[in-house]
Structure 1
Amino acid sequence: MFKRLVIAIILLSLVVGGIVWFKFFRDGMMAQFLSGMVPPPVPVTAETVEAVTWQPGIDAIGTALAARGVDLAIESGGLVQEILFAPNDAVSEGQPLVQIKDDSERAALAAGQAALGVALADLSRTQTLSERGVGAANTVETAEAQTESARAEVTRAQTALDGKRAIAPFAGMIGIPQIEVGQYVSVGTIYATLQDLGQMRVDFTVPEQQIAALELGREITAATEVGDLSAKGRIIAIEPRVDPNSRLITVRAEVDNPSGKLYPGQFLRVRVALPAEEGVIALPQTAVSSTLYGDSVYVVKPGEAEGELVVDQVFVKLGRRSGARIEVVEGIKPGQQVVTSGQNRLTDGAKVTIDTSVTLDAPAAD
């Protein structure tokens, strides 16, 4: 019995020892195999750093305004007899727009003209008698005063009659009628809006730190959020006061609108062009990786083997942004080659291969 137990223990020890030995043997072989594997180079795109001409600018949010735009109002109240325009009509200066019923004003004008005719006849007769020496001088003066009074009454009646017809104060595009034929309107009632869309203004604000960069006549570009509409213009006014609450200063620019597709009240992105600067190092924003430790780029350099390329992670100090590029103040210099895409798979010292077929990452937002 004891002999059988010993034999069983020996057999069990051999089985367990074989299993343990096989595990260590397998792990050793796998480690040896993996240690001999060399990871393939990572395909990336790269760009050689060059000093470029930098076009700095000030970005702001603006609102479009018509250079000439008004809400048209009724000058003389009454019953609307006729609306002489349609929505979005291009009207000319002095064009009639609304006719208010004017029967009483026409009657008053006719009465005034008749009274003026009588006064003129009396004045002529009185002057004739005075010249013949049969009339008193004060009679002529009285007739002249009556004539002037009648003429003033005609002018008043004509003014009242003209007030019953609303006309366009300037050329432009008229909006939707706010009144209807047959409606009674009072003085000051808004009946439409008139906008001259040929010339537009843009009001925008910039931080007080950038006041020194602003000046009259500086070029600006205004672009809409939709439709890819862009217009160029110049600064025509700078508010001589900083808002104490927002610390912003208001600026007004004037832009051309030949297509007429820029409308008052529209939201615009404005960029004020500043003088160009030479010798600035700028990279695509896709080349920069940002982490809690700072901003960095991967610089490509020759490896130990012939034709081998590796990367070094270099921390940089960034500056201004312009479109899809960003200024690098410190960390790299002209002539170095910097990875512009594919760096999400890189580590410091990784091997790379330059592959122009790799799609660039989307540009970072300003």
Structure 2
Amino acid sequence: MSNSKKTIRNIILLVAAGIVIFFVYKKLTANGNKDTAGPAAGPKNPSKQLLTDAWVVKTSALEQSIEASGTLQSNEEVEIKPEINGRIIHLYFKEGTNVRKGDLLVKIYDEDLRAQLEKLKLQQQLARTTLERQENLLKINGISRQDVDVTRNQVSAYGADIEYTLTQLQKTELRAPFSGRLGLRNVSEGAIVSSASVITTLQQIDPLKMDFAVAEKYRNVIKTGDQVSFFVAGDTKEYKGSIYAIDPKIDLTTRTVRLRAMVPNNSGTLFPGSFAKVQIALKNLPDAIMIPSQAVIPGTRDKKVIVADSGRAKFVVVETGIRTESNVQITNGLKPGDTVITTGILQLKPGMPLKYNKVQ
């Protein structure tokens, strides 16, 4: 009975050992077939060649300019106010009309000042007559010199009062300080005005001034005398002016420099306060080399482009200059006639053959 159990156990062990040997053999056979067939299983078709777009370098005219926002201002502007208190007896101007320098605009009541002036003139004349008599008496020692000096000082004092009254009379007449155009009036005849009352405004609109600001990096590029062009809202005409003043201080908040230009306005179509879109021409380069911006590969130390060299890719270090919306100026590294690759530049490597899809 014990022999039968041993026989059965041996049979089971032999079967298990056979199964293990079978699986080990199968695994080794499979690995051998995989290694043998590996190279043959790879794709036999080579990868397709990369198609790229190219740009033939040529020269073109380039004008560097900057844009800014400006505001038109009157060349001269003043509020017409009286220097003294009084009642307006006459207005000699019409609203919105042109006047010349020195034209009488407003008259303030002055009868009291005129009466005072006449009184002072009579008192001065009486003092002069008294002085003449005293001087004759002084010759015969009929009066003291002190009395004569007092009378002489009185004559001079009346003269000073007369001059002061004449000055006050001049203040009753408001005249145009310069030629220009009047604004709307704020008072009527008979109104009582003071030195704080604004009767109207006077503006010189030919020529006009235009204020605008540019970034501080252009401070040493722009100078007085430079020409500017601009457009105003609602008008397609291009206007021109010239810079005549530059603020010596850079604004600490915006880091900009304020400039002021003089603008002719013979036609009278420009008005103070209008918004202006200003353009300033900085450079005019007739033979600039311009290429598409996407052709430039930026690096940490330099910039490169890919050019075609005997049908293969060649990386060339370049220096850039002025940028426009889509192109960039190349100041060094390229010459007219070179073919620059504009697409697929990230997939290309030095020496790779080139095949073009489109050449511009």
Which TM bucket (shorter chain)? 0.5 to 0.7
Alignment map for 1:131-280 (pairs within 5 Å): 131-280=139-288
Distance (whole Å) between structure 2 residues aligned to residue 142 and residue 61 of structure 1: 69
**Is the Cα contact below 8 Å between 2:242 and 2:263 reproduced in 1?**
yes
Distance (whole Å) between structure 1 residues aligned to residue 153 and residue 96 of structure 2: 50
**Is the Cα contact below 8 Å between 1:119 and 1:146 reproduced in 2?**
yes
Distance (whole Å) between structure 2 residues aligned to residue 326 and residue 258 of structure 1: 39
Is 2:77 aligned against 1:91? Answer: no
Matched residue, 2:301: none
What displacement does 1:241 show?
A: 2.3
**Is the Cα contact below 8 Å between 2:64 and 2:322 reproduced in 1?**
no
Change (3 A) 1:265 1:133: same
Alignment map for 1:46-57 (pairs within 5 Å): 51-57=59-65
Q: Is the partner of 2:94 in helix, strand or coil?
A: coil
The AA in structure 2 aligned to 1:196 is: Q
Distance (whole Å) between structure 1 residues aligned to residue 171 and residue 210 of structure 2: 34
The AA in structure 1 aligned to 2:184 is: I
Matched residue, 1:108: 116
**Is the Cα contact below 8 Å between 1:319 and 1:326 reproduced in 2?**
no
**Is the Cα contact below 8 Å between 1:200 and 1:254 reproduced in 2?**
yes
Runs of at least 5 residues in structure 2 that lack an aligned partner in the other structure: 1-55, 295-319, 339-355
- Bigger Rg over Cα: 2
The AA in structure 2 aligned to 1:217 is: G
What displacement does 1:243 show?
A: 2.0
Q: Is the partner of 2:278 in helix, strand or coil?
A: strand
**Is the Cα contact below 8 Å between 1:280 and 1:327 reproduced in 2?**
no
Runs of at least 5 residues in structure 1 that lack an aligned partner in the other structure: 1-47, 291-316, 337-347, 351-366
Change (3 A) 1:132 1:173: farther
Matched residue, 2:329: 329
What displacement does 1:210 show?
A: 2.3
Matched residue, 1:300: none
Matched residue, 1:63: 71
Q: Is the partner of 2:269 in helix, strand or coil?
A: coil
Matched residue, 2:5: none
The AA in structure 2 aligned to 1:175 is: G
Runs of 4+ aligned residues of structure 1 deviating over 6 Å after TM superposition are: none
Bigger Cα displacement from structure 2, 156-165 vs 240-249? 240-249
Distance (whole Å) between structure 1 residues aligned to residue 142 and residue 258 of structure 2: 76
Distance (whole Å) between structure 2 residues aligned to residue 125 and residue 263 of structure 1: 67
| TM-score, normalised with respect to structure 1 | 0.63
The AA in structure 1 aligned to 2:136 is: T
**Is the Cα contact below 8 Å between 1:318 and 1:326 reproduced in 2?**
no
Q: Is the partner of 2:240 in helix, strand or coil?
A: strand
Distance (whole Å) between structure 2 residues aligned to residue 49 and residue 258 of structure 1: 46
Distance (whole Å) between structure 2 residues aligned to residue 97 and residue 123 of structure 1: 43
Distance (whole Å) between structure 2 residues aligned to residue 127 and residue 327 of structure 1: 97
**Is the Cα contact below 8 Å between 1:318 and 1:327 reproduced in 2?**
no
The AA in structure 1 aligned to 2:106 is: V
What displacement does 1:205 show?
A: 0.8
Q: Is the partner of 1:272 in helix, strand or coil?
A: strand
Change (3 A) 1:327 1:81: farther
Per-residue deviation, residues 189-242 of structure 1 (Å, max 9, x unmatched): 111111112222111011223223222222212321223344322222222222
The AA in structure 1 aligned to 2:329 is: V
Distance (whole Å) between structure 2 residues aligned to residue 207 and residue 289 of structure 1: 24
**Is the Cα contact below 8 Å between 2:208 and 2:262 reproduced in 1?**
yes
| TM-score, normalised with respect to structure 2 | 0.64
The AA in structure 2 aligned to 1:216 is: T
Q: Is the partner of 2:69 in helix, strand or coil?
A: strand
**Is the Cα contact below 8 Å between 2:82 and 2:197 reproduced in 1?**
yes
Matched residue, 2:137: 129
Per-residue deviation, residues 311-352 of structure 1 (Å, max 9, x unmatched): xxxxxx99544xxx964436x98679xxxxxxxxxxx958xx
Change (3 A) 1:349 1:67: same
The AA in structure 1 aligned to 2:124 is: L
Is 2:126 aligned against 1:118? Answer: yes
Change (3 A) 1:132 1:275: farther
Bigger Cα displacement from structure 2, 208-217 vs 128-137? 128-137
Q: Is the partner of 2:136 in helix, strand or coil?
A: helix
